[in-house]
Amino acid sequence: MTGSSPLSALVAALADGSVEVVDLTSPLSASTPVIQLPPEFGQTAPFALAEISRYDDRGPAWYWNNFTSGEHTGTHFDAPNHWVTGKDLADVASVPASRLIAPAVVLDFTAEVEKNPDFLVEVDHLKAWEAENVPLPAGGWLFVRTGWDTRSHSQEAFLNADENGPHTPGLSPECARWVAQESPVLGMGVETVGTDAGKAHSFDPPFPCHSYLMGSDKYGLTQLQNLAELPPTGAVVIAGPLPIVGGSGSPARVLALVERG
């Protein structure tokens, strides 16, 4: 790298703090909230570690573990083949690496969600934001901030379910269709357990974010943290799922590069 190259400039900016790395990832542990489906369906496994050795007779100089986890546990990446509408599209290992680094915009609906946990984002909300800010980024991410990451310490608070099912925010069916089929973004990121609202099982189509996004060869990022630390525009996101061959998704380390000062 030469002193004047873009990569050299980035390295210098990271070193002097003018570009900050913000971790958008929820730490993975046995207490990480996981989605709960009706009992007639298969269930995801919670994250768990199984010790192989820890500086003992099983391995005197090293510590390591096996782990078990669902693909869609914690902060994770949804690949197109995750949903039946995208069943013939890419698995998570086939997502081009060039699409894992992209700009992002952050739309803040925390005030609305504080009043109504079932709040739904509509197309008009997105168009009004574009009119006041910039167009949604071509080949970038749409991040929906709701403040839901503050609930991630508790499975009960995070799912926020009662006898009628979970109550969490998301997109309306028409908004999900518009984001998937008419907007230029490559995917959507949320702070909730999945890209769909808690009541999305009763929408038409059911779970429209999954149905439309996956069917349009777009992606999802879920259980994001620290979106409050990102500006509405200007962040660059690095999403790093494991390249699981045949996998429908993967836990991911998601980082954002943000200019400061």
Catalytic residues: 82
CB 225 within 8 A of CB 25: yes
Strand ranges, E, within 115-248 = 120-121, 141-145, 161-162, 165-166, 170-171, 187-190, 219-222, 235-241
Query: What tokens does 213 get?
Result: 């996004």
Query: What tokens does 13 get?
Result: 């900016």
d(CA 63, CA 50): 11
d(CA 23, CA 237): 10
Q: How far is CA 113 from CA 147, 148, 197, in A?
A: 8, 9, 12
What is the chain's length?
261
Burial code (b: 16+ CB inside 10 Å, e: under 16) for 170-192 equals bbbbebbbbbbeebebbbbbbbb
DSSP 3-state assignment of 136?
coil
Other Cβ atoms within 10 Å of 37 Cβ, number:
10
The one-letter amino acid code at 34 reads V
